Amino acid sequence: MNLVWYRNDLRIHAHRALQEALQAEGPVTAVYFICEDQWDSHGVAPLRRWYVLHSLNELGEQLAQRGITLHVVDAGDFSQVPQKLASLVREHGVERIFCTREYPLNERRRDEAVAAEMDKQGVAIRGFDDSVLVPPTTLRTGKGTPYTVFSAYKKRWDVWLEQHFSIPGLPGSMAAKSAKFAGKAVVDKALDRVSVPASLTDLWTPGEQAAAQQLEYFVGRHLGQYRKHRDFPSLTATSSLSAALSAGTLSPASCFHAARQAMSDAGARDGAACWIGELAWRDFYRQIMAQYPRLSWGRAFRPETDLLEWDNDDDLFQAWCEGRTGYPLVDAAMRQLVATGWMHNRLRMVTAMFLSKHLWQDWRRGEDFFMQHLIDGDFAANNGGWQWSASTGTDAVPYFRVFNPVRQSQRFDAEGKFIAYWVPELKALDNKTIHEPWKQPLLVPDYPAPIVPHAGVRERVTESFKGAKQAY
Ligand code: FAD
């Protein structure tokens, strides 16, 4: 018997582990371990849990239609997985396990414990790197060290993919046979424990089929204009595929393949190349996470910045969380996050930089808050994005980056449409005042004045970073 162990790869297409299991001798079965304690300890958003569990139900049905039973085991936390897997292996006479590799520290430790247990049972495990386009330890600088500068990494990433990219197909042996989806009751019980308002779930469709449709729609409608439009939050210009990519209902290989095919159309070439760059960022942060375990212990990528003394001000933090900072673009973005479980990339940078630099709150508080709300909450991308924004991470620019929230607003939401939608108190203002409502306080009695001034932030923050560097 061959066993496919599903984790964050909830699909049947472009899935090497499934493909290889089907090509091996003997029948195939599958398993997924629900680890809610693990989700709790990482503050995983209820919306993301809902997305994963519904995607799991769809996967179970899809596999059953192809003669494969998906077992779902309620495992609590990762420490329970080796024993629970061992029981399943004994019960079904499993000889080989196939899975997609995972790189965060806890996942790697879980897999080491499983490997030791399976070794005792004489069961072979084969892992595949399908959650990324380029496996995280493949590309090294001339000195043999991991890449920490994105532009240099991207150059090598392009070359590697040119030589090695292939996309696994759906094996022919997946003929229509039927099996039973054995795990539905366990998934439904777990779903009963997830409480998410319909106003949030109505916005999203879990599962592989919806993700494939969304990819097709995005490539057909928006990819060509991606470079031009992607920074403007009032436009529907980005793919909204991050939840699918992080739960694995869609593979990065399918995205890359679709974008490369679209490049044969000259009109789409530039947009597609730009979008492929985002898939490279995704891989970049995954290889950073895999090769710098201190990130998984909550530490900064730049060790000297762990000496920074952040303020710990609950009122400021709460105002940021609730979109009451008095800076319209920041507030609109935070309200979008809480109301939809997603935030536009430009705004993730603006809000993260605002919390860490203007409000001088520890970036880890913001990282946790994002995780508690994002449908696409993903440790590598979230930590990478937060550390980049807080200047504790991999940003390679030679100057100190502090976004001016008003300039960002004037530049990326010039007409104030995004702000007017999410901060309706401001919708009557003209497209000049909407970025600086404090200039007309009588028109907006219900909107707060700026919680901190922008003036002086750069100097204060630069001094603190200098101090930390000297003290290190
Ligand atoms: P598109 O623009 O269509 O991009 C396509 C895909 O590329 C995305 O779905 C995503 O998988 C990947 N991607 C795009 N930008 C980045 C990036 N900067 N870093 C890594 N991958 C990227 N992304 C997450 O998936 N999960 C997170 O928890 C997360 N947290 C973030 C926190 C901060 C502070 C910042 C600055 C960025 C974060 N990002 C995160 C990256 C990015 O904002 C989202 O991936 C993107 O907004 C998702 O929208 P989309 O699917 O429409 O992206």
Range of weakest confidence among 6-10, 172-176, 178-182: 172-176
Nearest CA to ligand 1 atom 20: 282
Question: Taking 60 as the threshold, does the pLDDT of residue 160 lie above it?
Answer: yes
- Is residue 241 marked as binding? yes
Q: Is 310 a catalytic residue?
A: yes
242 with 326, same domain?
A: no
Q: Are 165 and 256 in contact (CB under 8 A)?
A: yes
- Is residue 50 marked as binding? no
Nearest CA to ligand 1 atom 8: 242
154 with 234, same domain?
A: yes
In a domain, 121, yes or no: yes
Tokens 């449709």, residue? 213
Query: Is the complex ipTM more than 0.95?
Result: yes
80 with 213, same domain?
A: no
- Is residue 284 marked as binding? yes
Please, which pLDDT band fits residue 209 given cuts at 50, 70 and 90?
very high
Burial class (CB in 10 A: 0-12, 13-18, 19+), 435: buried
214 with 107, same domain?
A: no
In a domain, 179, yes or no: no
103 with 15, same domain?
A: yes
Percent of the chain with pLDDT over 90: 95
d(CA 308, CA 314): 18
pLDDT averaged over the chain? 96
In a domain, 393, yes or no: yes
Calculate how far, in angstroms, residue 408's C-alpha sits from the geometric centre of ligand 1. Answer: 19
pLDDT score, position 396: 77
Which among 8, 36, 160, 281 is annotated as catalytic? 281
Please, which pLDDT band fits residue 58 given cuts at 50, 70 and 90?
very high
Domain membership of residue 126 as a residue range: 2-130
What is the tens place of the pLDDT at every residue in 110-133?
Answer: 999 999 999 999 999 999 999 999
In a domain, 180, yes or no: no
113 with 137, same domain?
A: no
Nearest CA to ligand 1 atom 33: 385
pLDDT score, position 171: 63
321 with 467, same domain?
A: yes
- Is residue 304 marked as binding? no
What is the tens place of the pLDDT at every residue in 376-388?
Answer: 999 999 999 999 9
Q: Are 130 and 36 in contact (CB under 8 A)?
A: no
Tokens 């490049």, residue? 263
Q: Is 345 a catalytic residue?
A: yes
Indicate the residue among 256, 291, 326 that finishes a domain.
Answer: 291
Calculate how far, in angstroms, residue 441's C-alpha sits from the geometric centre of ligand 1. Answer: 36
Predicted TM-score (pTM) above 0.95: yes
In a domain, 84, yes or no: yes
pLDDT, mean of residues 59-74: 95
d(CA 362, CA 385): 14
Question: Taking 80 as the threshold, does the pLDDT of residue 93 lie above it?
Answer: yes
In a domain, 297, yes or no: no
3-state class (DSSP) for residue 348:
helix
Question: Taking 60 as the threshold, does the pLDDT of residue 458 lie above it?
Answer: yes
pLDDT score, position 170: 67
Q: Is 386 a catalytic residue?
A: yes
In a domain, 184, yes or no: no
Calculate how far, in angstroms, residue 439's C-alpha sits from the geometric centre of ligand 1. Answer: 34
pLDDT score, position 178: 75
Nearest CA to ligand 1 atom 15: 278
Residues, the chain: 472
Phi and psi, residue 197, nearest 5°: -65, 150
In the chain, how long is the greatest CA-to-CA distance? 76
280 with 137, same domain?
A: yes
Burial class (CB in 10 A: 0-12, 13-18, 19+), 353: buried
Give the CATH number for residue 101. 3.40.50.620
Residues lining ligand 1, CB < 6 A? 230, 238-242, 245-246, 278-279, 281-282, 285, 345, 348-349, 352, 370, 374, 376-378, 381-382, 384-386, 389
Indicate the residue among 291, 320, 339 that finishes a domain.
Answer: 291
Among 46, 372, 11, which residue's Cα sits nearest to residue 208? 11
Overall domain count for the chain = 3
In a domain, 182, yes or no: no
Q: Are 252 and 259 in contact (CB under 8 A)?
A: no
- Return the H-helix or E-strand segment holding 417: helix 417-422
d(CA 454, CA 93): 65
Indicate the residue among 258, 291, 324 that finishes a domain.
Answer: 291
Give the CATH number for residue 238. 1.25.40.80
Q: Is 422 a catalytic residue?
A: no
Q: What DSSP character marks residue 358?
A: I
461 with 314, same domain?
A: yes
142 with 53, same domain?
A: no
Q: Report the residue among 376, 389, 394 best suited for mutation to probe ligand 1: largest number of ligand atoms under 8 A from its CB.
A: 376
148 with 14, same domain?
A: no
Give the CATH number for residue 410. 1.10.579.10
270 with 340, same domain?
A: no
